[in-house]
Structure formats: structure tokens, C-alpha cells
Amino acid sequence: MTNTMLAEALFAAFEAGDAEAVRGLCASDFVARQNNSPRMDLDTVLGFSAAVLGVVEHFRYEDAVRSETSSGFVEEHRVRGTLPDGTELDLAVCVVADVRNGKVSHLREYVDGVAAAPLLDALQ
């Protein structure tokens, strides 16, 4: 599986809420960060993802642009869905990932904090 195929499979698993598929695509020592926040392990990321899926109707990734790098992949995409108050969520996201032995080992996600504020409010 190429790194871009791995990216596609990873985000499809997140979109579907398939935690076991995500686990199968990530290294056992997986670490993630969002906007340079403190490091999160895979269980924390899966918990956050489940919480988002619980409050965002019609959650989906759109307009994905994937590029393979020598150490992993970069993916730009839009996160879309409907928030509990009926407003539309539309976030531009950039993800930079390292791949080791065919598994995602480190993921860095960058998103506009102002645009993400309504989602964070809905998660409270």
C-alpha cells in the first residue's frame, strides 16, 4: 500500500467511525498533535473522533488532495457536516503524517481555530 493509499484508508476509517480499522493503520506508538497542542495517543484521538461523530450530522471529508512524501504523506481536505444548531461545519484542514513500516506513526493536523470554534462549542 502506498502512503497516499494509507492516507485514503485512514480518513475513510475515521469518517466511518471504524476504530478497529484506524488501529490497524496506525503504529502501536502512534502520536498526534492538533495545531501544536500537547501530544495525543491513539486512544485519545479515537475518543475525540467519536465525540465529533456524535455531534456532527453527515460528517465527511471532501476535496482531499494527497501527496506522498519521502517520510509519509500530506493531505489537505475539508471537514464538513451539520452542527447541532443546524449550522454547517466547513473546516479546511492540513494533515502531515509520518509512516513507518507501512503504519502511520505520527500525525500533525492543522486547522483554523476560529473556524473550528463552533465545533469545539458543540463538543462542550
Q: Flag whether pLDDT at 113 surpasses 90.
A: no
Residue with the three cell numbers 484542514 = 93
Cα–Cα distance measured from residue 101 to residue 94, given in angstroms and rounded to the nearest whole number: 23
% of the chain with per-residue pLDDT over 70: 100
pLDDT in tens, 34-85: 998 999 999 999 999 999 999 999 999 999 999 999 999 999 999 999 999 9
Going by C-alpha positions, the residue among 50, 76, 55, 79 that lies closest to residue 65 is 76
Q: What is the pTM of this model?
A: 0.94
Cα–Cα distance measured from residue 96 to residue 115, given in angstroms and rounded to the nearest whole number: 20
